[in-house]
A and B are shown apart, each in its own frame.
Chain A
Amino acid sequence: MKPSVRPEVSKGNQAVSGEWPLWEVFVRSKAGLDHKHCGSLHAPDAKAAIQLARDVYTRRQEGTSIWVVKSDQITASDPGDKDMYFDPMADKVYRHPTFYELPESVNHM
């Protein structure tokens, strides 16, 4: 199956309507943590997207850093492939440390 563009939004008719393009916003909530997807917004360019993201998504100090990326630049896995992609890991319990029962004296390993 072909990868679907952006997990959430189909491309719509931006080109036709002259709408500002859609951007995905990722915010690092504090130093040391990952940037996390928090939503999307329309903006004419990257600089404006960052500024608007500041106003829309961090009005209460929710972030220390923002990434924006144009929504149509994201390639996502197809939800229809979910089972095929992710189920094979369901029976591989030996990938987890808890699978191994060690003698009590070394079990903190």
Chain B
Amino acid sequence: MRKRVVVTGLGAVAPNGVGVPAFREALKAGRSGISRHEELKELNFACQIGGIPPTDEDAILKVLPEADYHKMSEAMIYAVLAAVECAKNSGASLDSKNYQNSPVDWNSGAIMGCGIGGMDTIFQELAPVMAEAKAQEPGRGTIPMGADIVPKVMNSSVSVAVGRFLGLGGQTSSNSSACNTGTEAIFEAWKHIQMGFAESMYAGGAEGTHFGIWAGFDAMRDVLCSRFNEAPEKGSQPMGAGACGFVPAGGAGVLRLETLESAQKRGAEIICELISAFCNSGGQRDGGTMTFPNPDGVTRCIRRVIEDSGVSPDRISLINGHLTSTGADPREIASWMKALELPPEKFPLIQSTKSMIGHCLGAAGALECVAAADQLANGYVHPSINSDEIHPQIAKIGNSIPRQARQARLEYVIKASFGFGDVNGCLLFKRWDGK
């Protein structure tokens, strides 16, 4: 028999708001966090817009000790900011400026993923030193880069940073599945709790915003949005007629998952319940490639989650899609329709958080799950902006796209993410009714 797993904490570092209250306010207001970046212009990127969380060194140092700040990449900093917020609002007692004084929490772990990793460290600290290495004395070629490079660029950097601040004694590890990373992390954490290895897990994803992370996507030309450099807030148009590529972004999202028993024992406030989760791959066959999902894989992933939950699709109130503002959006809608087997008039509301925050890559799924959980808990639906004129191929579900924020008592919210490599993830959240 499955354990009941609930969400007891949320943390968000998003391009349109740092901290869950600011993120919620921005989502309700339909406020975009996308802006133009001169650095991208100077580097002759085709896409010169992006989503960068509105925070700075002074604000960060109010939360983190300075020494830790210098030992972390941008993604690690975002991960820790979101995790500290998540831990605090889940009821954990934590002084993040003096975190080393807190005891180990042997019942909790973390699965925190990252899509690309410490590219900022590689560009700013490692590469310049290596460029000068030949001119150094024997044995001193690498010394000027300092002692903190490895922890800043290793794949597990974001999870161990979170583990360090929260004093986690359970498994602390990083997953990576491109743009599915955040969603997959939550699935992995849920699975970990189901198997009885931990009472609680912090799960999510983080991504930096260095141009080095975005450059490869820009080089692919039709993948990033390059037609809205003069109107950045219009650039991310998931499901919109003018969708021309995704808008790159970064940030972090963290959820605290916990057994219902543990949450009740702690007297924690329960935000919602995660009742079903699954990840799969399309095998890069039958239309699936390194960069496109096999539609059958997507459909199977969504169906598996619904079947496992035993929930009838017509009870799903809201879909928070992957929906990136690319030519793949209509294909994703088709997969949802096929998986849910609902006629257009009964199709649930469908939204894209990316319309406001862009595509946060390894953090995308996690931030979108924070949005999903927050909507369930607080009874609202955020708009999917820039979709006034929808893509002609999805006209039949046009009425399901919320263009304005609305109050709504949601029952089930389903969330899916897809990533390069033809990998998929899907989660089903349920409103918490107190039992």
A binds B: no
